[in-house]
């Protein structure tokens, strides 16, 4: 490989990395090399298979903002050549299940507001204000990022104008809810989907809750053929300009000459274990802020920046039970919707009760059926996810994947049984459908995705994260950029826009408007 010449090297093949690579390949005809340390392309967008018929996505459970003509759809079509088809989830796509009641969310904002107001008539005015405030918080977040992508004097005025909504955006979700609503049941319903951004209301920034909630006001979609189609489509765009995507290639460090990046040091994890230097005038990291600053930039970034990232609080991790089914789950009434099962109205207390999951008595989980969202699925599948603390698994962090001791395997069995029992309690007959099951723990995210402390997402979306002024696509090392969700915000769309931001910096001046014009 070191005999080939590349214009750009992208480290990591998640949504951010693939977006940066595809945009630079298509718009600027750059020859891009994407290096992925895993044996599957796509990061959190990839799939895995068992028994030749069951397949599951690992991070994409549903997506928003893919309506015809929307900005999200246009960008996605640009980086995939329009080769990803989206299936709509049912009209009532969210099912929030609590002791004694449940609430379903429709794919229509007015209908959603009306349903909330009808259920909680005494809070109707606050409900209307809530939807307006979410858009203000979302606008603050978008403007905050935009200020980092434009010339300094323009960015200054954007930040000045943006001050009016800063207090709202950077409050916690709980602070907002407690100051605007009285009914505890209503407050619980509004944050039932906090798993989409990984933090309960007492910790999450209101802007993050707002971005996710607003994005799903028109419902949700899922890629036909599964999440793996995304990486495959982007790879074709990259290859069309002479680039390539290489798996099992771990970047050990950067090559820096006269204060600017000139290549990467790569350890291939194939049988021959080749190690080589690959040169390129531009390098983009899509491996997250933590890995980028504490490892790749450890000798090149400001010490205070490295310290900030290294000491930043960890986000939540999770256990995921991947289930292969004997029969179609629609026999039990499932239609492809998301099911959030909660044992209490107090979401912040539930996070602390994750210890019960270790004892086989979980109180909350997310239940999804990939096969009901993907018409090409060969067999029916389900996923059951529950957040849990990484510390419970830390004793095994230096052991090898699939080579851990009996205690670890027994713990996995207890957790899996507990999750199945929780689903069975709410949906009798589910266990009879189970043919195959496999549990992943936080160590899976460490070993296969390189996530520090097994974090399900990147930097946790607490208010402090969005106060880090220097965190963006540009770094202190010349010609070295950061891509992905830590640049913008969590989720597929957030990672994609982080990829756009990094590509825009490479194409300066006026890189961002140039990209958006091409997409439009």
DSSP letter for each residue of 51-76? TTTEEEESS-S-B---STT-HHHHHH
pLDDT for res 1: 62
pLDDT, tens digit only, all 520 positions of the chain: 656 899 999 999 999 999 999 999 999 999 999 999 988 898 888 888 999 999 998 888 999 888 888 889 999 999 999 999 999 999 999 999 999 999 999 999 999 999 999 999 999 999 999 999 999 999 998 888 878 777 777 777 777 877 889 999 999 999 999 999 999 999 999 999 999 999 999 999 999 999 999 999 999 999 999 989 999 999 999 999 999 999 999 999 999 999 999 999 999 987 678 999 999 999 999 999 999 999 999 999 999 999 999 999 988 899 999 999 999 999 999 999 999 999 999 999 877 788 899 999 999 999 999 999 998 999 999 999 999 989 999 999 888 888 899 999 999 999 999 999 999 999 999 999 999 999 999 998 887 777 778 888 889 999 999 999 899 999 999 999 999 999 988 888 999 999 999 999 999 878 988 999 999 8
- Give the residue carrying structure tokens 């307006």: 132
- Give the residue carrying structure tokens 């050549």: 81
Q: Say if residue 211 is in the same domain as residue 141.
A: yes
**C-alpha distance across the termini of the chain, in Å:** 36
Query: Would 169 be classed as within a structural domain?
Result: yes
pLDDT for res 58: 83
DSSP labels, 7-36: SEEEE--SHHHHHHHHHHHHHS---EEEE-
Query: Would 98 be classed as within a structural domain?
Result: no
Structure-block tokens of residue 300: 């090149």
Query: Would 92 be classed as within a structural domain?
Result: no
pLDDT for res 285: 98
Instruction: Choose among 94, 118, 89, 91: nearest CA to 105.
Output: 94
| Helix pair 15-27, 491-506: axis angle to 10 deg | 40
**CATH number where 248 lies:** 3.50.50.60
CB atoms within 10 A of CB 81: 14
Among candidate residues 196, 217, 238, the one where a domain is terminated? 217
Structure-block tokens of residue 172: 């916690």
Q: Say if residue 57 is in the same domain as residue 73.
A: yes
Among candidate residues 422, 454, 486, the one where a domain is terminated? 454
Query: Would 2 be classed as within a structural domain?
Result: no
Q: Specify the pairing of strand 480-482 against strand 92-98.
A: unpaired
pLDDT for res 346: 94
Q: How far apart are CA 149 and CA 23, in angstroms?
A: 16
Among candidate residues 423, 454, 485, the one where a domain is terminated? 454
Q: Say if residue 301 is in the same domain as residue 282.
A: yes
Q: Say if residue 73 is in the same domain as residue 22.
A: yes
Cross-strand partners of 481: 284, 474
Query: Would 241 be classed as within a structural domain?
Result: yes
Q: Say if residue 30 is in the same domain as residue 142.
A: no
Q: What is the total count of domains within the chain?
A: 3
Q: How far apart are CA 131 and CA 384, in angstroms?
A: 30
Q: Which residues contact 320 (CB under 8 A, 6 or more apart)?
A: 58, 383, 384, 385, 439, 440, 444
pLDDT for res 2: 59
Q: Say if residue 180 is in the same domain as residue 194.
A: yes
Q: Say if residue 299 is in the same domain as residue 333.
A: no
Residue 66 has, within 13 A of its CA and on its CB side, a CA count of 21
The range of the structural domain enclosing residue 259 comes to 8-86+224-312+458-519
Q: Say if residue 47 is in the same domain as residue 196.
A: no
Q: How far is CA 401 from CA 159, 408, 441, in A?
A: 46, 11, 11
Q: Say if residue 389 is in the same domain as residue 432.
A: yes
Query: Would 115 be classed as within a structural domain?
Result: yes
Instruction: Choose among 109, 210, 199, 121: nearest CA to 168.
Output: 210
pLDDT for res 447: 76
Q: Say if residue 342 is in the same domain as residue 439.
A: yes
Query: Would 257 be classed as within a structural domain?
Result: yes
Q: Say if residue 421 is in the same domain as residue 324.
A: yes
Torsions phi, psi for 111 (to 5 deg): -65, -40
Q: Say if residue 388 is in the same domain as residue 433.
A: yes
Query: Would 495 be classed as within a structural domain?
Result: yes
């Amino acid at each position: 490989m070191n005999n080939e010449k590349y214009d750009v090297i992208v480290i990591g093949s998640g949504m951010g990395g693939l977006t940066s690579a595809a945009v630079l390949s298509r718009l600027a005809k750059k020859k891009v090399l994407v290096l992925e340390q895993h044996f599957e392309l796509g990061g959190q967008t990839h799939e895995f298979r068992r028994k030749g018929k069951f397949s599951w996505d690992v991070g994409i459970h549903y997506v928003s903002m893919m309506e015809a003509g929307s900005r999200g759809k246009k960008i996605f079509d640009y980086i995939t050549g329009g080769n990803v088809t989206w299936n709509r989830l049912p009209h009532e796509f969210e099912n929030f299940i609590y002791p004694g009641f449940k609430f379903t969310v429709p794919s229509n904002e007015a209908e959603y507001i009306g349903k909330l107001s009808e259920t909680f008539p005494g809070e109707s005015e606050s409900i209307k204000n809530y939807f307006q405030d979410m858009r203000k918080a979302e606008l603050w977040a978008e403007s905050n990022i935009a200020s980092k992508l434009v010339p300094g004097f323009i960015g200054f005025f954007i930040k000045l104008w943006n001050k009016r909504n800063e207090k709202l955006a950077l409050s916690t979700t709980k602070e907002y809810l407690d100051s605007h609503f009285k009914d505890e049941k209503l407050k619980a319903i509004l944050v039932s989907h906090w798993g989409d951004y990984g933090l309960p209301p007492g910790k999450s920034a209101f802007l993050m809750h707002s971005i996710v909630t607003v994005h799903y006001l028109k419902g949700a979609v899922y890629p036909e053929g599964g999440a793996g189609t995304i990486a495959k489509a982007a790879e074709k765009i990259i290859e069309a300009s002479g680039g390539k995507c290489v798996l099992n290639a771990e970047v050990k460090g950067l090559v820096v000459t006269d204060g600017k990046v000139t290549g990467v040091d790569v350890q291939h994890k194939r049988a021959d274990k080749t190690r080589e230097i690959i040169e390129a005038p531009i390098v983009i990291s899509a491996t997250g802020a933590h890995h980028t600053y504490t490892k790749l930039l450890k000798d090149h970034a400001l010490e205070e920046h490295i310290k900030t990232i290294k000491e930043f609080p960890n986000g939540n991790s999770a256990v995921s039970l991947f289930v292969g089914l004997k029969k179609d789950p629609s026999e039990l009434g499932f239609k492809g919707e998301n099911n959030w099962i909660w044992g209490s109205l107090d979401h912040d207390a539930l996070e602390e009760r994750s210890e019960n999951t270790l004892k086989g008595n979980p109180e909350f989980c997310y239940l999804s059926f990939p096969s009901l969202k993907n018409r090409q699925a060969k067999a029916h599948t389900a996923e059951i996810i529950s957040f849990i603390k990484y510390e419970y698994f830390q004793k095994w962090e230096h052991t090898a994947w699939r080579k851990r001791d009996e205690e670890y395997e027994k713990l996995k069995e207890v957790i899996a049984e507990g999750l199945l029992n929780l689903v069975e309690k709410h949906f009798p007959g589910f266990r009879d459908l189970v043919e195959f099951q496999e549990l992943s723990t936080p160590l899976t995210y460490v070993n296969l995705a390189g996530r520090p402390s097994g974090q399900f997402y990147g930097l946790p979306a607490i208010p402090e994260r969005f106060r880090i002024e220097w965190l963006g696509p540009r770094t202190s090392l010349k010609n070295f950029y950061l891509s992905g969700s830590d640049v913008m915000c969590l989720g597929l769309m957030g990672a994609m826009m982080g990829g756009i931001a990094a590509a825009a910096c490479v194409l300066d001046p006026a890189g961002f408007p140039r990209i958006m014009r091409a997409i439009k």
